[in-house]
């Protein structure tokens, strides 16, 4: 049977993800999403204030 894994690496991978590791990966993904949203919001606000000549409040 052909899988996407065969197309990418050319051999079958056998992996096990237990609940502890899965929850850690999920926590990392969620934290990354929230931190990137905060970073983008802060950066856009800062650049908008710089370009429009307004003072940046913190």
| Total number of domains constituting the chain | 1
Q: Looking at the whole model, is its pTM more than 0.85?
A: no
SS3 call for 22: helix
Q: Is residue 9 part of a domain?
A: no
Question: Does 3 reside within a domain?
Answer: no
The pLDDT of residue 21: 85
pLDDT tens digits along 5-39: 556 655 555 667 788 888 898 999 999 999 999 99
How many C-alpha atoms does 51 have within 13 Å on its Cβ side? Answer: 6
Q: Is residue 8 part of a domain?
A: no
The pLDDT of residue 56: 56
Domain residues for the domain of 25 are 17-58
The CA distances from residue 7 to 10, 15, 16, 33, 56, in Å, are 6, 17, 20, 29, 50
């Amino acid at each position: 049977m052909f899988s996407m894994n065969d197309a990418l690496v050319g051999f079958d991978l056998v992996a096990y993800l237990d609940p502890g590791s899965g929850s850690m990966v999920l926590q990392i993904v969620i934290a990354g999403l929230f931190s990137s949203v905060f970073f983008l919001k802060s950066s856009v606000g800062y650049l908008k204030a710089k370009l429009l000549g307004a003072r940046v409040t913190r």
